[in-house]
């Protein structure tokens, strides 16, 4: 005897197998189920307004707050209040490997690759270094500590005396007044030659003299002088993170 599913089409068997469902009221869960009740849809916030005209004569809801006609292509980030504080007001700490007298390797700038002697850290967080100038041609400069490598070579600078005027304002460039466009010739060069103040020359000579005296007292002063004169560079298959300075 054959089964009824073989005689009837598949569409009829699906209708026969479907169980009748009891209607569920809005906002109520079916009996015996643990599902949360569905919240009724709230009407949109707005005012009801009648639309006139021969073909209209209906009502529509006007939103209280209209949406913008255009949207920005990029979303601007919300800056935190802490970002408003200037960089000069941040607390600056020096790495423990950098102490007065430590020989540093400069990695960026005009004097990159040179070995310099660290003198002190300024208020802005920058490092005050010198070549000395008579050894490798690096004068008194400010260097960020992220652009230097601290070596284990050190010079004893306990008796070093630095002038009080050596601060961040000491190294600031003086702004020169530009002549208006109407004054002078348009082809006349407005660039002035850079001059070094006599105070800077005096400080350079006095500091280099003290540093050279400290280098002369080092047990390997001849090797140390040649070490400061040489440039730092890498050969093939040499990696800085595997080297000991």
pLDDT in tens, 191-224: 566 777 888 889 899 999 999 999 999 999 899 9
pLDDT in tens, 157-176: 988 999 888 888 888 877 66
Q: Show the tokens assigned to 109.
A: 């700038």
Element (H, E) at 216: helix 198-216
Domain limits, the chain: 88-170+221-232
Looking at per-residue pLDDT, the higher value among 90 and 95 belongs to 95
Instruction: From 140, 151, 142, select the one nearest 95 (Cα to Cα).
Output: 151
Cα torsion angle, 172, 109, 205, 102, sign: positive
Q: How would residue 6 be classed by pLDDT, with cut points 50, 70 and 90?
A: very low
3-class DSSP state of 17: helix
DSSP code for 64:
S
Q: Show the tokens assigned to 39.
A: 């919240």
What is the per-residue pLDDT for 73?
Answer: 85
Q: How would residue 91 be classed by pLDDT, with cut points 50, 70 and 90?
A: confident
Q: Residue 58 pLDDT > 60, yes or no?
A: yes
Would you say 212 and 204 are in contact if contact means Cβ atoms under 8 Å apart? no
Looking at per-residue pLDDT, the higher value among 52 and 101 belongs to 101
pLDDT in tens, 125-154: 899 999 899 999 999 999 999 999 999 999
Report the distance separating Cα 173 and Cα 175, nearest Å.
Answer: 6
Q: How would residue 190 be classed by pLDDT, with cut points 50, 70 and 90?
A: low
Q: How would residue 15 be classed by pLDDT, with cut points 50, 70 and 90?
A: very low
Q: What is the mean pLDDT of the chain?
A: 79
In degrees to the nearest 10, what's the CA dihedral of 52, 55, 59, 64? -60
Distance of CA 213 to the CA centre of its chain: 41
Domain covering 88-170+221-232 in this structure, CATH number: 2.30.30.30
């Amino acid at each position: 005897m054959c089964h009824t599913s073989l005689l009837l089409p598949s569409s009829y068997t699906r209708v026969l197998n479907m169980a009748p469902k009891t209607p569920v009221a809005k906002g109520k869960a079916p009996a015996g189920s643990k599902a949360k009740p569905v919240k009724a849809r709230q009407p949109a916030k707005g005012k009801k307004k009648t639309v006139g005209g021969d073909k209209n004569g209906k009502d529509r809801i006007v939103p209280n707050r209209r949406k913008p006609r255009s949207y920005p292509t990029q979303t601007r980030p919300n800056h935190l209040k802490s970002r408003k504080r200037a960089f000069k007001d941040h607390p600056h700490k020096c790495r423990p490997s950098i102490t007065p007298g430590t020989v540093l390797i400069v990695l960026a700038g005009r004097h990159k690759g040179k070995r310099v002697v660290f003198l002190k850290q300024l208020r802005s967080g920058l490092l005050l270094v010198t070549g000395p100038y008579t050894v490798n041609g690096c004068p008194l400069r400010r260097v960020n500590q992220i652009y230097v490598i601290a070596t284990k070579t050190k010079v004893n600078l306990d008796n070093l005396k630095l002038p009080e005027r050596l601060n961040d304002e000491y190294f600031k460039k003086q702004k020169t007044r530009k002549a208006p466009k109407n004054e002078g010739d348009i082809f006349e060069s407005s660039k002035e030659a850079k001059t070094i103040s006599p105070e800077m020359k005096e400080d350079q000579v006095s500091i280099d003299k003290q540093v050279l005296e400290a280098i002369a007292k080092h047990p390997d002063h001849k090797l140390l002088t040649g070490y400061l004169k040489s440039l730092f560079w890498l050969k093939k298959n040499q990696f800085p993170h595997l080297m000991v300075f």
